């Protein structure tokens, strides 16, 4: 196996070094030869079948015109009467007819022989062959003799005939009352089929050669063009390889960011669940316990006191749920320009916190994808939330710039506490989530630590063609 494998690899390497036209001559020639053999076989078989059916049809017209008029007694009888049999024998007894059609059988339904040139078969019953069944269905059929059939072994057939089955019908109604089976000597038909097959093979071979020549001329011209261009393509392989390596690294970064973003989303969902359990759920549970106290209150004053306690707990729970919902629900921003997205997130933050946010830039008419808009919205929302939580909203500023193909967004404050430290408290989880969200879009996330007061986070995304849609 090692020697054979080495030889195959060696031949494959040599074949790969050939020109495209040489490879086409070998591989294409082999394929076209196989295709020509298959096409020639099927075309020859099809034409031969058509020739057999044509012969069967012409023979059927002849035999039916001779047998049908004298076989009408088979409507009621199981065998042909003597007068009808004598007329048939007189007709088929002529030398030209008997040389070409040496045997004639007339069958009744069920495989009973009503007449035969072999008189010993008359009245016997044999198995119904497929050709006989087809003829009783009203179709003319032709098949070569099955030498193993009992009616043929009785007569000692040693060579195959072309068996043609012809339906015999009632003259008035057209009902099939019998089937005439005539055995034709295949010598003449065999010569015709041989000539037809030869012509078919020659036609297929000629057409295949013409196709091969035409394709070779096209491939040869293309091969020369490819060889001329190959030297130019080789010069660009290093640049393409370099770009490919960069794409692989970028794709891997994006994939890693997506995976980490999924994990962070799961952590955030758990945090939301914990907040709901520890906040609104506890208050609602407290209100539920107070309901029993209301039922047991001895005086209206005590009942009113308990109801106010329940009302306060439910009100606090509702306020907490609303506050959480404002941070989770994203407004409809798909159809808004980026400047309106920035304005909306800043406005919502100002309403919620009662602070003021300065906005610089963001006045661009460029159309961005929905994913970019969501990323910018969440980036500014998280940045302002952290600025308010850790810096008391002091010096909150949003920067937005789109120059060339680069979109840059930044959030900054001038508070005492530097909250932009990933990995510290809840803000760390938020900043890590922002980093993964930005990097999943192929962008970069940066934390600037050189500020004397406060903190600044910045995202940058390269917008291909200025439009991500």
The token duo for 227 is: 């060889």
Q: Provide the pLDDT confidence category of residue 425 given band limits of 50, 70 and 90.
A: very low
Q: Region 420-424: what's the mean pLDDT?
A: 49
Judged against a pLDDT cut of 50, whether residue 312 lies above it is answered with yes
Look at residue 273 in the predicted model and tell me its pLDDT.
Answer: 73
Structure confidence by residue, pLDDT tens digits, 117-148 = 888 888 888 888 888 888 888 888 888 778 88
Place of tokens 């009113």: 304
Whether the per-residue pLDDT at 227 is higher than 80: the answer is no
SS3 416: coil
Residue 462, pLDDT > 80, answer yes
Task: Report the relative pairing of strands 406-412 and 397-403 from DSSP bridges.
Answer: antiparallel
pLDDT confidence tier of residue 409, bands split at 50, 70 and 90? very high
Residue 466 has pLDDT above 70, yes or no: no
Cα–Cα distance measured from residue 296 to residue 290, given in angstroms and rounded to the nearest whole number: 10
CB atoms within 10 A of CB 221: 11
pLDDT score at 274: 64
Contact call for residues 311 and 352 (beta carbons, < 8 A): no
In this prediction, residues 454-461 reach a mean pLDDT of 90
DSSP for 153-190 reads HHHT--S--EEEEEEEE-TTT--EEEEEEEEE-THHHH
DSSP string, 109-162: TTTEEEEESSGGGTT-B-PPPHHHHHHHTT--EEEE--TTSHHHHHHT--S--E
Per the DSSP assignment, residues forming a β-bridge with 447 are: 457
Render pLDDT for 8-35 as a digit per residue (tens, 0 to 9): 666 666 656 676 767 777 777 788 788 7
State the pLDDT confidence band at 222, using cuts at 50, 70 and 90: confident
Q: What is the pLDDT of residue 459?
A: 93
pLDDT-derived band at 468, boundaries 50, 70, 90: very low
Residues 298-311, mean pLDDT to the nearest whole number: 80
- pLDDT score, position 294: 77
Predicted local distance difference test score (pLDDT) of residue 427: 41
For the stretch 345-395, pLDDT in tens is 899 888 878 889 999 986 777 788 888 888 898 899 888 888 888 888 888
Structure tokens belonging to residue 270: 């758990």
- Residue 423: pLDDT over 60: no
Residue 172 has pLDDT above 80, yes or no: no
pLDDT, residue 428, reads: 45
What pLDDT, on a 0 to 100 scale, did the predictor assign at position 50?
Answer: 75
- Residue 417 scores a pLDDT above 70: no
pLDDT of amino acid 81: 80
Q: Within 10 Å of residue 330's Cβ, how many Cβ atoms?
A: 13
Ranges 155-159, 176-180, 444-448: which has the least confidence: 155-159
What backbone phi and psi angles, to 5 degrees, belong to 299? Answer: -130, 155
pLDDT exceeds cutoff 60 at 450: no
């Amino acid at each position: 196996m090692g020697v054979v494998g080495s030889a195959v690899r060696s031949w494959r390497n040599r074949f790969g070094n050939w020109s495209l036209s040489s490879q086409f001559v070998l591989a294409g020639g082999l394929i076209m030869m196989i295709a020509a053999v298959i096409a020639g076989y099927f075309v020859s078989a099809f034409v031969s079948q058509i020739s057999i059916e044509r012969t069967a049809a012409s023979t059927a017209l002849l035999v039916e015109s001779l047998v049908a008029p004298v076989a009408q007694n088979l409507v009621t009888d199981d065998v042909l009467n003597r007068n009808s049999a004598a007329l048939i024998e007189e007709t088929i007894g002529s030398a030209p007819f008997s040389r070409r059609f040496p045997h004639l059988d007339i069958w009744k339904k069920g495989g009973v022989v009503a007449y035969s040139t072999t008189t010993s078969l008359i009245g016997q019953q044999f198995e119904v062959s497929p050709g006989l069944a087809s003829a009783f269905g009203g179709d003319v059929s032709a098949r070569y003799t099955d030498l193993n059939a009992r009616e043929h072994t009785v007569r000692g057939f040693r060579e195959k005939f072309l068996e043609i089955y012809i339906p015999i019908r009632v003259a008035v109604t057209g009902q099939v009352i019998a089937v005439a089976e005539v055995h034709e000597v295949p010598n003449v038909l065999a010569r015709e089929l041989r000539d037809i097959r030869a012509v078919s093979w020659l036609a297929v071979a000629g057409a295949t050669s013409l196709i091969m020549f035409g394709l070779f001329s096209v491939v040869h011209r293309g091969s020369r063009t490819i060889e001329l261009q190959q030297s130019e393509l080789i010069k660009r392989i290093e640049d393409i390889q370099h770009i490919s390596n960069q794409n692989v690294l970028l794709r891997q970064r994006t994939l890693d960011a997506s995976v980490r973003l999924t994990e962070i989303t799961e952590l955030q969902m758990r945090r939301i669940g914990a907040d709901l359990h520890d906040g609104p759920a506890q208050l609602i549970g407290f209100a539920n316990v107070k309901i029993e106290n209301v039922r047991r209150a001895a005086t209206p004053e005590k009942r009113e006191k308990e109801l106010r306690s329940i009302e306060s707990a439910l009100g606090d729970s509702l306020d907490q749920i609303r506050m959480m919902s404002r941070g989770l629900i994203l407004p409809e921003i798909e159809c808004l320009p980026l400047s309106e997205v920035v304005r909306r997130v800043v406005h919502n933050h100002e309403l919620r916190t009662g602070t003021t946010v300065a906005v610089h830039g963001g006045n661009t008419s460029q159309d961005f994808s929905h994913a970019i808009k969501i990323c910018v919205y969440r980036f500014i929302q998280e940045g302002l939330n952290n600025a308010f939580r850790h810096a008391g909203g002091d010096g909150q500023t949003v920067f937005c710039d789109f120059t060339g193909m680069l979109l840059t967004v930044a959030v900054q404050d001038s508070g005492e506490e530097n909250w932009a430290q990933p990995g510290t408290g809840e803000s760390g989880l938020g900043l890590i989530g922002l980093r993964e969200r930005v990097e999943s879009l192929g962008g970069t996330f940066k934390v600037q630590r050189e500020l004397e007061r406060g903190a600044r986070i910045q995202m940058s995304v390269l917008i291909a063609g200025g439009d991500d849609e």
